[in-house]
Structure 1
Amino acid sequence: MLSPIRTRASLLTAGAAVAALLTGTLSAGVSQAAPSAAAATASQENCRPDGLYATPGVNVPYCSVYDTEGREKMGADHQRRIIGYFANWRTGKDGRPAYLAKDIPWDKITHINYAFAAIDSANKITVGGDGPNNTSTGMTWPGVAGAEMDPSLPYKGHFNLLNKYKKLHPQVKTLISVGGWSDTGGYNDDNGNRVNSGGFYSMATNADGSVNHAGIETFADSAVAFIKKYGFNGVDIDYEYPTTMKDAGNPLDWQLANGRRAGLVKGYAVLMKTLREKLDRAGAADGKHYLLTVAAPSSGYLLRGMETFQVQKYLDYVNIMSYDLHGTWNEHVGPNAALFDDGKDSELAGSNVYSTAQYGGIGYLNTDWAYHYFRGSMPAGRINVGLPYYSRGWKNVQGGTDGLWGKSSATSCPAGSGLTKCGDGAVGIDNVWHEKDTTGKEAPAGFNPMWHAKNLEKGIVGDYITQFGLPANTKLTGTYVRKYDSTLVAPWLWNAEKKVFLSTEDEQSIAAKADYVVGKGIGGTMIWEMAGDFDWNAAKGQYEPGDTLTTALYDKFKAAAPYGNKKSGITLPTEAVNVDVDFGQFALGDSNYPISPKLKITNNTKATLPGGTEFQFDYATSAPGNAKDQSGFGTTIIRSDHTGNNVGGLKGDFHRASLKLPAWQTLAPGASVELDFVYYSPTSTPSNWTVTFGGKSYAIAGDLARGVKVVEPSGDSGGPGGTCTAPAWSATGEYGTGVLVSHKSRNYKAKWWNKGDEPGASGQWGVWQDMGAC
């Protein structure tokens, strides 16, 4: 993400008791002399967030972080999260404005994500070698008020200061963020030179696309040790990106990543499961729950190559990078982080998204679409929407309305980008937070902190411009006029003389987005990055780094209702069965349209599921309500919370789908069935499943819902008989269609005439229909 250039164990001894609790068979006869391990587990389970994976056999101390409703405890005045990314490179040592731990509005935020740690060639987490120039562990700021080191800590740098201020603000949690745009496929050595090894791509996935289990184990162990050493509350994974879309992420990583595309999603899932389990074991040993979060893409293009984002169950919450939705990687001029679609996005129009019937006219380059994508598999409160405290922009914009939805095409693209057509990025005074490209030139992107954009809006040349390489006598050309689109919820600056378009955020857009978060029950917001916020310096007559926007969020959230803590919008059964569902075998990259996975249903109960068993589930309204199967299971949409386009926002969260086992087909214990499934826009893992047969409905254990008891289905699964009263099958007998027999304590019905075909030997497609135990 998130780079200036393109942000883009203590095991329970009573393991059997825990297993019994999870399956609902624990006896009530417990000694009152002392709390039992099972009772402690039950207490912690009461605090587990809805849908969060629990490591088997581990008494995870959820109640150290969550209340008994599964909501995060953040302080009485923090009903929603305000997560701020803290960038370790804004030290002030380069002469540019510093942003240190003392500058963080500690009373206004809830979490700090420290950007970034990397993964070295040995697959271990690293922030570089120790020494006085190491910004994380060695640097000091003599004479800077508020930046004095805490002498009780064995390290210096940002880590020292973060822990110093956490003592004063213990409600604020800190996470180490690993990766980011620059460090996903490699890392920088102590001299600042990029090393094209290490990183997520090779740590999690081998060159042949198989999972690198050894690399994952090494990294996860090192990450746990790291957070314990430096006092962090968890790990934030900024992997950009484990997608099968070709040439995704940093162009410097393409050579490494493209050959591994077929295995990236699987490696990502194993990585997140491994981290979750190791953090849970460490948390049980330490008596505190460690957080695991990710920065997730928001673009429908990238998410299409991430299957159904199967890792959400391992995450305390997801931070959506709902920005970088438009930028100079192409010629389409539009908002960096629009809240809603307006039906006019030139990039989507150029790809026929609005005119192709299967898409339902739904535009997917906006925050609301991204939120609903994740809402399909997570409670609203485990989702945070991203806010950019920086601009993106173009020069030489042609057409559009005050530049909006115009075009800006460069004559040449940045070296190393691999692009043949890109946007003409704003430079100079319109690009002060720029980095240099691979040839050492200014990377044109219109990239500015909001405090500089505010100065441009007011016609002010700040006294800091020489620190960014601009002449002291720099004058502004033209006027930067603030524009605002209320449908998009997007402000921008338009300089008609220079044809410069800078997409911004300000008080009005942040207030509208805060209202959206409150109204939807969303968990909160994530900010990239805190150093871009502003305050007015009256003495100097200019805007400078501050906390105006963050304070606006805090004021909106402090009196808000508690966030949404339930995944389902309907009442689901309180008994669940072990029936597994999995969407897999996705086509890779651009071949994955329409999105056509295999839906595999596996019966892990002791009962046979009879023909006609109905499965219902919800999937996100990020995809239109036209999903179907091509295997005779009769998939129908029985309820849609949204129809039509999404101009101004999607109106609801879910489509509810129904499918049934064909009447002639049963699903025996341990057996699976696969069907070809089709949908047309990305959606996260379908959830809120029910299984109905024998006159009773059950939830499924895999939804990990709070307060659900896992049971074995009662009765005979709705099949005929129930005792072996049917004649025993004979190898020499002849059986016509519909004839009932018994064999090995099960009843079977002939689908067609047969002789000598043993019941149960030929599987679900054979001649005999399994009618259940007898």
Structure 2
Amino acid sequence: MSEIKGRSAMLTWDLNDRHDPDKGYDIYVAKDKTKPDSGFNYQGWFADPPVTLGGLEPETEYTFYIRQASVSGSSVPSERITFTTAADTATAPPAPLKKPHQPRVTEVTYESLTIQFDNVPGADGYDVYSRTNWLAGIWNGSGTYKLDASKLTVGQEVYLQVAAQDSSKARPNSPKSDPIRLIWGQLDAPKDVQVVTATKSEVTLGWATVAGATYYEIYSGGKLLGTSAEPRYLATGLKTSQPYYFTVVAKNDLWTSPTSARVKATPGHNYNLVYYYASWARSETGRDFQPSDIDTSQLTHINYAFADICWGGYGESGKECQNPEIADQSGYVFDGSMVIGAPADDMPNFAELRTMKQRDPDFKLMVSVGGWSWSKYFSRLAAAEETRLTFAQTALQYLRSNGFDGLDIDWEYPVEGGEDDNDRSPDDPQNFTLLMKTLRETLDAAGQKDGKYYLLTIASGQGDNFTRNADFTNSVPYLDFVNIMTYDYSGGWHSSAYHNAPLYYDPANKQSTAPRNNVAGGAAGHLKGGVPNYKLVLGVPFYGNGWIGCSGEYGECASPSTDGTWEAGKFDFTDLEENYVTQSTYKRHWNDKAKVPYLFNEKTGTFISYDDEESITYKAIHVRKENLAGIMNWEISGDRNRTLTTRIFEELPIYGNPSQARPEPTPTPTPTPEPPIYWIPTSTPSPSASPSATPAPSATPAPSNAPSVETPRDAVGHWAENDIVKAIQLGLFQGYPDGSFQPNEKTTRGMLAVLVSRLLPPTSAAAPAPFKDADRFPAWSADAIVQVQALGLIRGYEDGTFRPDKAITRAELLTLLARAAGWPPASGAATSFMDDALIPAWSKSAVQAAADKGLLNGREDGSFDPQGIATRAETAALVLRFLSELTK
């Protein structure tokens, strides 16, 4: 050790003949030198010596050891070194006062405009400015300023900012607040109206705060749903699969804004799929998983892990916070500031993620702060208003500077748990709520300037203690949603082979905690603990935990596995998928009680608990069953082949950006009835495919000798139950192996090709040139695609692909069926639907003709919703109506 200071010290060591800077070294630290190696905290990875260890406490004894990084975990730890840090002689400059908190308009009359702001610690006066012009000083502590509006004229700009000052001059004045800017006599239309969460029956909306507005009106289909004083609204009592269109109007006592842009939400089809991306995943000598390797069409949010927290000039990463290469950290960084934690990785990652956002603006880019290793200072910063404001204001600047859409707080953990040397306090619950309140107010106020709704979420421990320690009863109202970490129910701390993320309780697990410690138990605990179902996002792992020398499932083990993908005992799903499941020495087992798989090697006693496509499907079903908001995972580099992300996307649709859908499986075929079903005439070719409208009830009888079929379990009570059963009887549709029909899932181009081919007689038409993506067609749809292509019923795209997994829109499906039935070509004449302007000209005559014939109804608001995605139920019902019409 050398250069031992109050908050840092330099550590060096001699290299051995196995030195490899690409693998580097892991450094571990503890304040208690008597602890075993496994009890030390991970300090960080370093390529080679010497290294500066920062973020230490003054006059404190530390013990370190070094281990050469090795995936196998077999490297021998170094000898330990113990030292005591010096007294802290560094002096921080006086911190400027914080900017006045959340300035906002509270009243508008013809005579005055009143703004309020929250006072900040250390300030005894406030200056109000209109751009560079000083307007007034406020010394009464009221946090209120009233602008004389009697001489303002319509169209005149109002531009107000507030700065805090300390009359004793002990601290520098604050910077000016974000401006309140409006034009007298008008309000801007709310911007960035978005679906924040959606379940099968609820939709939560958010939008940017409008300067001058004191409340908002929320509409759907031209009808007023309600009002809100905040830029958020919860719509309830909605119908699954029914598209809704929402708009927002800003108001005060004098003015009404124009209507916002319309946002569409379809309950049951707008789930949140939140995937963590770890900064270190980009390392070319490690995971080598770049941001560009992510398929953003399969997700709604990327949570970037992690930002750091500065205290005493250092982050928990051990890096000095002041950094001339980072604009926001070029000067002294004060306690409680949110900072970039790994500049060498973060800066190129941010640039790549911003480029991805430009290509696909639909997904939300979040930054997560804290995590297991960097949560030490949360309790300390949350305990004081000064540092809460510091954290909130620097977090906002972090979002603005780096292009993020919101903030994810990963405090592991308030009150109890986490790293041994983390700060913790019995006051953490109330301070947790105060921190969330400060963040929410800061982000909402920023919307006035940025025209943006900033999201605020948390990563939540799965235990019932977290619901208490995070004060969910009072803190959740400030959060957009909660990502519950329902995994790591087992790990290296266990000496038996338990499951990592069991969905349900298995009585064979004899742990006393087993009835509660499962994914369903974690979700239920949060729902009971104060998290509404529409704010709860269920966590799933993209990794497994392993042990060796085990007698079997739940049996005693010799130790955690010394193997792993990137660290001992931890296995990425892709590693298991490619290198373990395929080995004859490993047998995959399925626990039908817990609904999870595991691998077992009888020769070595290696037990690996993990999640795969089957278990992920059950977890997605649980989300739907409990009416939750979606799924989160840790972390996306563990699924390089997109096996799990694709399955989740198939099970929990996100219609904001569809690109894939569940292909129809190939179970035992349903017999085709005799006589054969009606054939659609094929004399009129038709262009590219398209989906359905909400149909009216069908009266088409099934043939008398059609085989009887059991109603699929998820079709019982569905509005299209009779049509679904009839379509299966006629051999038009098949159900899924689990006995479901999935009526609310989308219809894809591949599905439609199969359906149309079942309506057609055999054809002798010459096979056309194959599509460029023909080698990727699912086996169940390949022949059907060739047949309908040969008949000109469904065409491909300009790039020569067919894209069988792409969802079909309502306008597309109706048009294809109309042309296949021989209806006249489109005339482009107007329809009777309220959204006629949105209906493509090539579809209008088919839409109106189908409506005139009673084959379809519009949505409840009188719209047709041409770009809505056709569900399997809608498609089945509409096809039956067309068959009925053709046989009249």
Which of 1 and 2 has higher RCO (CA within 8 Å, sep 6+)? 1
Tell me the TM-score normalised to structure 1 length.
0.49
Tell me the TM-score normalised to structure 2 length.
0.43
